[in-house]
Amino acid sequence: MPKIKTAILQTHVYKDKIRNITQTAEHLAAPELASIDLAVLPEMFCCPYENKCFPEYAEAEGGDTWEKCSRLAAEHKIYLVAGSMPERDEEGHIYNTSYVFDRTGKQIGKHRKMHLFDINVKGGQYFKESDTLTPGNQVTVFDTEFGKMGLCICYDLRFPELARLMVDKGAQVIIVPAAFNMTTGPLHWELMFRQRAVDNQVYTIGAAPARDMNAGYHSWGHSIVTDPWGKVLMEMDEKPDIKVVKLDLDEVSRVREELPLLKHRRKDLYTLSQI
């Protein structure tokens, strides 16, 4: 099985939406990314992570930002997980949505954040996505020439049932555009990516915005890739950065064969099902 050359882009999020897309285009055109198969962008890569910005920056599926991402995927002949962006539907609901494009620019996946980030940590992070956003209700797995990949957004990763449902649908990699923060990031970020990788014997990929202490929300950054054994293959610091990591799906088969957790489940005693 050929290795999947994956670029993780930890970019700065500007208030100017177009500038965010232009910088993404410039990064993808860099010679170091010439032979990648897959690129993953951060949660809200083109919109400041603030409730007041979501309605202002929201676009319908097929809108300008969607169109530019589709064109970038086609131009570079890559799979592009276009981080996430605020999506407005016909009824005016707004979602935190991640689109996936194939090497021809065709949309092959779409995930609307299912678990909204409503937390209130005393002396720490407060956020209430439900003030402006509507939750999605689909488990998302998409097909590639390498195999199936699952997709969720940030807070979704905290729900082990969702990761397991993606794995039950065939996911060997779980991709997570995400933006943890200075309260939850230090203890939970790496743990969460390693934990979901170990539970499910998958690669996990987290792509976060770079930290900007002048922004309304302070991203933890630390974009990460872990292997199916739970080993961290790459972790950034808080600054803008781009890293390329090779994923070998034979490793998923090897780990699942040697430590057959998924086979050893007592499905006669418990089940997990999607309603």
Ligand X SMILES: NC(=O)CC(=O)C(=O)O
Give the footprint of ligand X on this chain (CB under 6 A).
117, 154-155, 158, 179-181, 184, 188
Pick the closer one to ligand X by CB: 3 or 188: 188
Annotated active-site residue 128? The verdict is: no
Identity of the residue, 70 or 184, whose beta carbon is nearer to ligand X in the bound complex: 184
> From the CB of 128, what's the least distance to ligand X, in Å?
11
User: Is 238 tagged catalytic?
Assistant: no
Axis crossing angle, helix 64-76 with helix 17-28, rounded to the nearest 10: 10
Check: CB of residue 71 under 8 Å from CB of residue 105: yes
Positive or negative CA dihedral for 34, 99, 138, 125? positive
| Helix or strand run (H / E) with residue 71 | helix 64-76
Smallest separation, CB 103 to ligand X (Å):
29
Specify the residue, 117 or 142, whose C-beta has the smaller distance to ligand X.
Answer: 117
- Cα–Cα distance between 115 and 173 in angstroms, integer? 20
Q: Could you tell me the smallest distance in angstroms from the CB atom of residue 158 to ligand X?
A: 5
Tell how far CA 154 is from the center of its chain. 7
> Could you give the maximum distance between any two Cα atoms of the chain, in Å?
54
Whole-number Cα distances in Å, 87 to 20, 65, 131, 196, 213: 16, 10, 15, 27, 26
Catalytic residue among 17, 113, 129, 152: 113
CA distance 225 to 202: 11
Shortest reach from residue 188's CB to ligand X, in Å: 6
Cβ distance 206 to 236 under 8 Å? no
CB 90, min distance to ligand X, A: 25
Active site residue 56: no
Among residues 154, 190, 238, 251, the one annotated as catalytic is 154
Q: Which is nearer to ligand X, 148 or 188 (CB)?
A: 188
By beta-carbon proximity to ligand X, the closer residue of 76 and 196 is: 196
* Residue type at position 27: H
DSSP 113-129: -SS--EEE-TTS-EEEG
CB of 180 to ligand X, least distance (A): 4
DSSP string, 217-244: S-B----EEE-TTS-EEEE--SS-EEEE
Q: Which is nearer to ligand X, 101 or 127 (CB)?
A: 127
For the annotated catalytic residues, the residue numbers are: 43, 113, 154
